[in-house]
Amino acid sequence: NRTSLLDYWTVPIVTASRYRLDRSSAQVPIGIVVKEPTITEVQEELPKENILVTKKNDETDDKLKSLYIQEEVENQLSLNKAPRDELTMEDQARTFALQKSDTNEKENTPPNINDEGFITPFESIWTDKTAILAGRRDLKLQNPQTSHEGRVITADILYKKHLFKITNVYASPNMKDMTTFFKNWIPSFDEDKINIIAGDFNTNLDPTINRISQANAQNDSSRLKLKRLLNNFLDSASLLEKKPFLTFYQNTRNNQSMAICLDYIFIDENYDFLTETQTTY
């Protein structure tokens, strides 16, 4: 009997984290779209391997909600110097970064989860706010560290002799707490690794483009602070031809729709020269 993921309210958004390596290229997804259709609609619109559905009784009105996560963009990178025998087209490695996991459990205790929301034997690191999950057995999460009351998880992943440092971030939606978080958080960076920072930052870095709303954009001081913190990283969504790039959807009180970008995958700028093409689907 497989246990489905019914007890974990995993997101407003799930970000960052599928990369595929071969001897001449690597693909990194750089965005996720979250909507709220029925499960039937999900099954009709998406291939099975791209679906992660989560449900939980809402604490306020006990209403069951459904989410599905669709990978929106893949960013193709070239690893021209990769040794010929190390990486092949058939090799595919997945790593999932979840925010707002709300597990109410001790760190590292919740079950590992695969694409379809079922328990798997793969490695994972959890706090009550974030999680990093390996998508296959041979991916080992090394040197895991958690900080900032569980809002930040960092781990190293060794794959085909390529070492990645993955950081998952969930910034508080409360403006005061968010300001404090960005004041105290220092992004992890290792010159000997491919550094990737992903997460729900609850901040729109480019409201003039990545925003759909009839209301005026608010003056968000965290926007400039986040840009300074990640000055050495490339916002992979900025490489897209598709604009706007949206990751969060909401209906306002006057029954108007709003969509913005709060979720990002940042790539170490030392590897921005590896970017060649973008593919959307």
- 162-170 and 194-200: which strand pairing? parallel
Lowest mean pLDDT: which of 156-165, 169-178, 220-229, 235-244? Answer: 235-244
**Residue 168 pLDDT > 80:** yes
For residue 5, tell me if it sits in a domain: no
For residue 3, tell me if it sits in a domain: no
Q: Hey, which of 89-98, 180-189, 207-216, 264-273 has the most confident mean pLDDT? A: 180-189
Check if the beta carbon of residue 13 is closer than 8 Å to that of residue 99.
Answer: yes
For residue 188, tell me if it sits in a domain: yes
pLDDT score recorded for residue 102:
57
pLDDT band at 9 (very low <50, low <70, confident <90, very high): very low
pLDDT score recorded for residue 121:
64
pLDDT band at 24 (very low <50, low <70, confident <90, very high): very low
Lowest mean pLDDT: which of 123-137, 138-152, 162-176? Answer: 123-137
For residue 8, tell me if it sits in a domain: no
For residue 4, tell me if it sits in a domain: no
For residue 196, tell me if it sits in a domain: yes
pLDDT score recorded for residue 145:
92
**Residue 153 pLDDT > 70:** yes
pLDDT per position as a tens digit, 214-264: 666 677 788 889 999 999 998 877 776 667 778 777 777 777 777 888 888
Q: Which residue has the higher pLDDT, 102 or 267?
A: 267
Long-range own/partner contacts, residues 214-222 (CB < 8 A, 24 or more apart): 214/256, 215/252, 215/256, 215/258, 221/179, 222/171, 222/175, 222/178, 222/179, 222/182
Look up the CATH number of the domain holding residue 120: 3.60.10
Total tally of structural domains belonging to the chain? 1
For residue 274, tell me if it sits in a domain: yes
**Residue 178 pLDDT > 80:** yes
For residue 9, tell me if it sits in a domain: no
Report pTM.
Answer: 0.62
pLDDT per position as a tens digit, 36-79: 333 333 334 334 343 333 333 333 333 322 222 323 223 223 33
Q: Which residue has the higher pLDDT, 190 or 280?
A: 190
The boundaries of the domain holding residue 88 are: 14-280
pLDDT score recorded for residue 122:
79
**Residue 161 pLDDT > 50:** yes
pLDDT per position as a tens digit, 88-141: 323 455 777 777 655 554 444 455 554 555 455 678 888 888 888 887 788 888
